[in-house]
Amino acid sequence: MSELKGAMIIGQSGGPSSVINASCYGAIKAGLDSDVITKVYGAANGIVGVLNDKLYVMDEEDPEELAIMRYTPSSALGSCRYKIADPDVDDTDYKKILEIFKKYDVRYFFYNGGNDSMDTCNKISKYMKKVGYDCRVMGIPKTIDNDLFGTDHCPGFSSAAKYIATSMVEVYQDAHVYDKGQVTIVEIMGRHAGWLAGAAALARVTGYGPDLIYLPEVDFNQEEFLEDVERIWNENHNVLVAVSEGIHYADGTFVSEAKTSATDGFGHAQLGGLAAKLGDVVKNAIPGVKVRPIELSLLQRCAEHCASQTDSEESFMAGQTAVQQAIAGVTDKMVGFKCTRDENGYKCEADLLDLSSVANYEKKVPVEWINERGNNVTDAYIEYALPLIQGEIQMKKENSLPRFVHLKKVVAK
C-alpha cells in the first residue's frame, strides 16, 4: 500500500482507567516519532472535541512532561460519553468530522475506549470509506470491565483487578479484628460481565480471600445467598462477600436499588447501592449481626499507585502498535491481545481484530469458571488473571505524593 502522509488525531472515550494514558502515550509517541505523520492532535473530550473543533497540538508538549502520561491515571485528553447516530439515519456528525479531518489534513484516526468507543470507531471508518476519504482508522481498547470481544483481556482490567484483590486482602484483615465479627459486603463494578468481581478471588493466593463471590453471569438467588451467609456466619462468625454491581434475579431485573431510568450517556443503567441493600437483607435475616457494606466505586479505575506493570506495558504497546500498523497500511482494526499461559510462563502479543466484530459485543466470564452453586469462581479464573497483575510501576513522586502529567493543551487553530 502506498505511503499516506498526513496528521493524526487520537481521542479517549468512556470511563477512565489507570492505564488508558499509557495507551494514549504509546500512540502519541509513535506518531511523533514517525516521518509519515505530519502532526499529532489530541481530541479534547473524545469525539466531542472533533465535532467542536477543539484539538490539542501534542507536538507542542514538552517530551519529558508528556512521558509522565504513561503513569498518570484517568484520561489526560478528557473523555466523553457521546453516541453518534447510524450514518444512514443521521449523517450530521459524520459530515462535521469529515470537515475537521479535511481542515487539518487528518489521515489517521485512533480512538481509545471500550465497547461503545469501538462502535464509534467502526462507524467513522465505514463512513470515510463510503465517501472516499483516505483515512486509516484504528481502535485502541480500554475497559476495566474486560468485556471486549476477541481479545484475551483489555488494557485497564489488570490494574483494576490488582486493586480489587489487594483491597480484599486488606479488608479481610480489618474485618477479622473484632471478637464479635461481622458480615462485610464489597460491591465491585461490572454491569453485565463479572470479570472485576471475579478478581476478588485472586486474594485467595494470599490466604485471605472472600468467602463468597457473586457474578452477573448467573442468576442471583437471594434465598441461597442468605443460606450461604448464615452457614458461614455460624461456622466462623465472620463473612466476607464480593458482589458485582450488575447481579440480577432470574427475571433479569437488577438486585441493585438503582432505577434503570437513571442512565449514562449511552443509555446503560446506572447501578449502585447494592452492598447497602444486601446488607439490610442480611441484617433482617440474622438478628444482631453487624454488617458493613463497602462500595469500591471509582477507586477501582483510578488507583495508579496499585497499577500492574504488566498492564502498563501492554497498554503502551497497544497504542504504539495501532499507529505503527496504520502507517503500514492497516485500517478498520482494533488492537487486541493474544496470550499464552503454560509451563514457559505468560506471553502476550498484539492481535489485530476487525472493528465490526468487536463493536457492541460483550465478552463474559465463562460459565465453567463459576462454581455450581454460583457463589464463587474456580481456580481457572485465577490461572487466567494472576499473570496479568504482576509488577509494580515506576510512578514519579514529589513529596511522597504522585506526580501526574501537566499538559499545556495548546489548541489547534
355 has pLDDT over 60: yes
CA distance 42 to 60: 11
CATH of the domain at 256: 3.40.50.460
Structural domain contains residue 247: yes
Mean pLDDT of the residues in the chain:
94
Q: Which of 161-165, 360-364, 398-402 has the lowest mean pLDDT?
A: 360-364
Structural domain contains residue 150: yes
CA distance 41 to 11: 9
Structural domain contains residue 383: no
Please state the domain count of the chain: 2
How high is the pLDDT of residue 262?
Answer: 43
Give the strand order in the sheet containing 239-244: 212-214, 239-244, 183-188, 291-295
Active site annotation includes 311: no
How high is the pLDDT of residue 20?
Answer: 97
Q: How confident is the model at residue 1 (pLDDT cuts 50, 70, 90)?
A: low
Residues 111 and 226 in one domain: no
CATH of the domain at 68: 3.40.50.450
Provide the whole-model pTM: 0.94
Q: Which of 150-154, 301-305, 356-360 has the lowest mean pLDDT?
A: 356-360
280 has pLDDT over 70: yes
Q: What's the rounded mean pLDDT across residues 55-77?
A: 97
261 has pLDDT over 90: no
Residues 11 and 143 in one domain: yes
Q: CA torsion 189→193→195→197, rounded to 10°?
A: 40
How high is the pLDDT of residue 400?
Answer: 97
Structural domain contains residue 368: no
Structural domain contains residue 382: no
Q: How confident is the model at residue 258 (pLDDT cuts 50, 70, 90)?
A: very low
- Cα distances (angstroms) measured from residue 375 to each of 17, 153, 168, 194, 330: 27, 23, 16, 12, 44
- Residue closest to 116 by CA, chosen among 76, 145, 159: 145
How high is the pLDDT of residue 359?
Answer: 76
Structural domain contains residue 45: yes
Residues 232 and 297 in one domain: yes
Q: How confident is the model at residue 259 (pLDDT cuts 50, 70, 90)?
A: very low
Choosing from 116, 119, 145, 147, the catalytic residue is: 145
How high is the pLDDT of residue 271?
Answer: 54
Q: CA torsion 350→355→361→366, rounded to 10°?
A: -20
Q: b/e map of 23-49 (b: 16 or more CB within 10 Å)? A: bbbbbbbbbbebebbbbbbbbbbbbbb
Q: What's the rounded mean pLDDT across residues 14-39?
A: 97
Q: Record the cell numbers describing residue 137, joined without a space.
A: 482508522
Residues 88 and 131 in one domain: yes
Structural domain contains residue 34: yes
Domain range holding 142? 6-154+305-361+392-402
Q: What's the rounded mean pLDDT across residues 61-78?
A: 97
Residues 79 and 173 in one domain: no
R_g of the chain, CA atoms, integer Å: 22
CA distance 278 to 281: 5
Structural domain contains residue 370: no
Task: Name the domain boundary from 284, 301, 318.
Answer: 301
How high is the pLDDT of residue 269?
Answer: 52
Residues 286 and 324 in one domain: no
Task: Name the domain boundary from 301, 324, 345.
Answer: 301
Q: What percent of the chain has pLDDT over 90?
A: 91
Q: How confident is the model at residue 115 (pLDDT cuts 50, 70, 90)?
A: confident
Residues 248 and 128 in one domain: no
How high is the pLDDT of residue 87?
Answer: 92
How high is the pLDDT of residue 337?
Answer: 98
Residues 112 and 49 in one domain: yes
Q: Record the cell numbers describing residue 181, joined without a space.
A: 465479627
- Residue closest to 121 by CA, chosen among 15, 47, 24: 47
Task: Name the domain boundary from 262, 286, 301.
Answer: 301
What are the pLDDT digits (tens) for 372-382?
999 999 999 99
Residues 180 and 240 in one domain: yes
How high is the pLDDT of residue 264?
Answer: 46
Residues 78 and 96 in one domain: yes
Q: What's the rounded mean pLDDT across residues 49-57?
A: 98
Q: How confident is the model at residue 266 (pLDDT cuts 50, 70, 90)?
A: very low
Q: What is the 3-state secondary structure (H, E, C) of the chain?
A: CCCCCEEEEEEECCCCCCCHHHHHHHHHHHHHHCCCEEEEEEECCCHHHHHCCCEEEHHHCCHHHHHHHHHCCCCCCCCCCCCCCCCCCCCHHHHHHHHHHHHCCEEEEEEEECHHHHHHHHHHHHHHHHHCCCCEEEEEECCCCCCECCCCCCCCHHHHHHHHHHHHHHHHHHHCCCCCCCEEEEEECCCCCCHHHHHHHHHHHHCCCCCEEECCCCCCCHHHHHHHHHHHHHHHCCEEEEEECCCECCCCCECCCCCCCCECCCCCECCCCHHHHHHHHHHHHCCCCCEEEEECCCHHHHCHHHCEHHHHHHHHHHHHHHHHHHHCCCCCEEEEEEEEEECCEEEEEEEEEEHHHHCCCECCCCHHHECCCCCCECHHHHHHHHHHHCCECCCCEECCEECCCCCCCCECC
How high is the pLDDT of residue 361?
Answer: 83
What are the pLDDT digits (tens) for 295-351?
999 999 999 999 999 999 999 999 999 999 999 999 999 999 999 999 999 999 999
Residues 122 and 233 in one domain: no
How high is the pLDDT of residue 125?
Answer: 96
How high is the pLDDT of residue 257?
Answer: 61
Residues 245 and 263 in one domain: yes
What are the pLDDT digits (tens) for 223-235?
999 999 999 999 9
